[in-house]
Amino acid sequence: MRRFAPLAFAATVLVASVAAAGDAATRLPWDGFGVGSYVHMRSTTTMSIEGVPPQTSESKQTLVKITDEAFTIKQETKVGDDWMGSELPFPRKATGTPTDVQAPKPEELGDENVAVDGKDYACKKVRYTAMGMTTTTWTHATEGVLKSETKGPGTESTMAVTKLSFKAKVADKEVEAREMVMVTKAAGTESKVTSWDSKAVPGGAVRSEMVTDMGGMKTTILTETVAFEAK
């Protein structure tokens, strides 16, 4: 039964990829940053089990190369006092849908307002069906996807932008950020992720908190940017 959770995620990612491929204005997380830009993050995992202490880990991403085709990112994890990792390319252009996966076809559902932080935004409402999952998105002309709902056998998830712009303190620097909340329910497990992102931070991520409740046992993973440099 637990396979439904990754299935919902995969379907959502596929729909998002197709939507993004059709939007020439889509901004990638490393767009606008130069070689040497980096972000250093710390994650703390806390479980509601007596006697189990919080676990902390650190990671770092550094932009080491830019070509027309891809960003090359050095991804590192701290092991003891040392950093270990490798370099991976991230495509800058749409690579298309895998040949063994049929791209979802959009069903236009007209215009509908979405409220974000007390203000209404006119959005295009579109429905996609892929991998047995149905996803409905509400997309604003300039702010992008503000809301989405995904439903399928035994699982459902929702995403909503809750704040379009606010000031956040990141590594002693003040940046403009956006807040998004995603809730997923599947096979008796519920996860809620509250995340902040910012165009001022390399890679975009500022902070995220994921709380997972599995039959009364809660796990909280808090990830925060502790240092960054934009070049």
- The pLDDT tens digits of the residues spanning 171-219 come to 889 999 999 999 999 888 999 999 999 999 999 999 999 999 988 889 9
Q: Is the dihedral of CA 8, 14, 20, 26 positive or negative?
A: positive
* Average pLDDT rounded to a whole number, residues 60-80: 95
Dihedral angle over CA of 109, 110, 116, 118, nearest 10: -130
Residue 222 predicted with pLDDT over 80: yes
pLDDT class for 101, splitting at 50, 70, 90? low
- The pLDDT tens digits of the residues spanning 40-51 come to 999 999 998 888
Tokens of 10: 């995969």
Question: For residue 4, what pLDDT is reported?
Answer: 36
Among residues 146, 149, 145, the alpha carbon closest in space to that of 157 is found at: 149
Among residues 29, 49, 81, 12, the alpha carbon closest in space to that of 201 is found at: 29
Q: Is the dihedral of CA 196, 10, 135, 155 positive or negative?
A: negative
DSSP string, 3-53: THHHHHHHHHHHHHHHHHHT-TTPPPTTTT--TT-EEEEEEEEEESSTT--
Instruction: State the pTM of this model.
Output: 0.81
Share above pLDDT 70 across residues of the chain, in percent, rounded to a whole number: 84
Among residues 41, 74, 69, 93, the alpha carbon closest in space to that of 222 is found at: 41
How much is the mean pLDDT over the chain? 86
Least confident piece of the model among 79-93, 100-114, 122-136: 100-114
Type of residue at 55:
Q
Among residues 123, 151, 119, 107, the alpha carbon closest in space to that of 11 is found at: 151
